[in-house]
Amino acid sequence: MSSPDFLSVLRTRRVVAIVRGHDPDAARDTVVTLVRSGIDLVEVSLSGTDALRVIARARKVLGPDAHLGAGTVLTTDDARRAAEAGASYTVTPGVTDAVAASHALGLPVLAGALTPTEVVAALAEGATAVKLFPAGPGGVDLLRALRGPFPDVPFVPVGGIDARAARDHLAAGALAVGVGGPLVGRAADGDPRGLDERIEAFRSLALEMS
């Protein structure tokens, strides 16, 4: 997936589901459920148990066109192994070596940044879009403040984003939002109760805000 294609997918889908769990089978099933239920832009965090295998197994089920990424990518080696597992994009928590490495591998990268200096650094390293992280403490005011000097930067707030915050950030100009627990719950740990209802709520929100 090219960087322009990734930006188009973010702009269209509006919600990136973040899957992080301790049960690899449940995590794989959660990814498949999300994609097949219409939340088809999914990040599997490498901080979860056996995350690379989760990505590889989900890719095998979903096929080559699924928008399946690797998150919490910290190093050049992380980026390489994520690509080998079948990730079509990477997500970092900050401006790490993985940003330039992902770019060199031809993978779109959503690079974490919180301050103006970090935003500039992320773009200089080849970030496709900027993951505003952690977005929760600053709220939507932080996004509005950063969009002043960076009106053309595609921001994706992540961290502390529930349905209400998602709506507020999208209305304030975010390209998309990343959502973990408020969407996925404990499904990736083997407890899928309420997942279908949460998927429907965020899918409806994404459609409304598109």
Which are the catalytic amino acids?
43, 131
CB 41 within 8 A of CB 13: yes
Q: Which regions of 67-162 does DSSP assign to beta strands (E)?
A: 67-71, 89-91, 109-113, 129-132, 155-157
Q: What separation, in Å, do the N-terminal and C-terminal C-alpha atoms of the chain show?
A: 21
Is 179 in a helix, a strand, or coil?
Answer: strand
- Report the candidate in 92, 85, 84, 96 with the shortest Cα–Cα distance to residue 108: 92
- Report the candidate in 113, 86, 91 with the shortest Cα–Cα distance to residue 17: 91
- Report the candidate in 80, 45, 62, 75 with the shortest Cα–Cα distance to residue 158: 45
CA 203 centroid distance within chain = 15
CB 202 within 8 A of CB 40: no
